[in-house]
Amino acid sequence: MASRAVFLDRDGTIVEDPGFLHAPDQVKLFPGAAGAIKRLNDGGFLVIIVTNQSGIARGLYTVQDYAAVQRRLVELLEQQGAHVDAAYFCPHHPQFSGPCDCRKPGSKLFQEAQQAFDIDFTRSWWIGDRLADVQPARVLGGHGILVTTGNGNLHQGQARAVRVMVVADLAGAVDEILRPLQGVNHGP
């Protein structure tokens, strides 16, 4: 059977977003984020980060800077017993590098993850603090949840208008995902 996944935005969803996060010492987990990811790990979900990183296209930081931030995030999660199964990023921005299929809400990175991990999109979730983070769920057949951390407060009305669930934070989103599964076998 194909796997279930939770696709997480990074900045503003898992970690605080200072704007163009590019330095490992700036990585700060939101309260409860590591615990929420651990609950997904324990629940048999693949946890996959998909993030737009337009700062690379803008020349504000490099792919190596992105990788250093990602390593720090992995370290912080591991310190609390959580892990991510994969991370994908889009280094483009249409104004600076032209159009691409990988920038969210585009679906290219999600399709790459699906092929790599045999993911069933209909059993999967998208969580983020912007509509672009959760819109792929509608196109690909999954479920989206907008968190009000990061920029989520700015997008609540639009999210509700298109019937996307809105919750306070990543822990609240995981509560919603796991609630119907209470007492059910959590295998992949």
Catalytic annotation on 175? no
143-147 and 5-8: which strand pairing? unpaired
The residues spanned by each domain of the chain are 5-147+162-181
> Residues 78-119: pLDDT tens digits?
999 999 999 999 999 999 999 999 999 999 999 999 999 999
pLDDT at 185: 54
The residue whose two tokens read 């019937």 is 163
* 5-147+162-181 topology per CATH: Rossmann fold (3.40.50)
pLDDT at 63: 98
Residue of 9, 65, 129, 169 marked catalytic: 9
Rounded Cα gap, residues 146 and 168, in angstroms: 8
> Residues 16-64: pLDDT tens digits?
999 999 999 999 999 999 999 999 999 999 999 999 999 999 999 999 9
- The answer, yes or no, to whether residue 184 has pLDDT greater than 80, is no
pTM of the shown model: 0.94
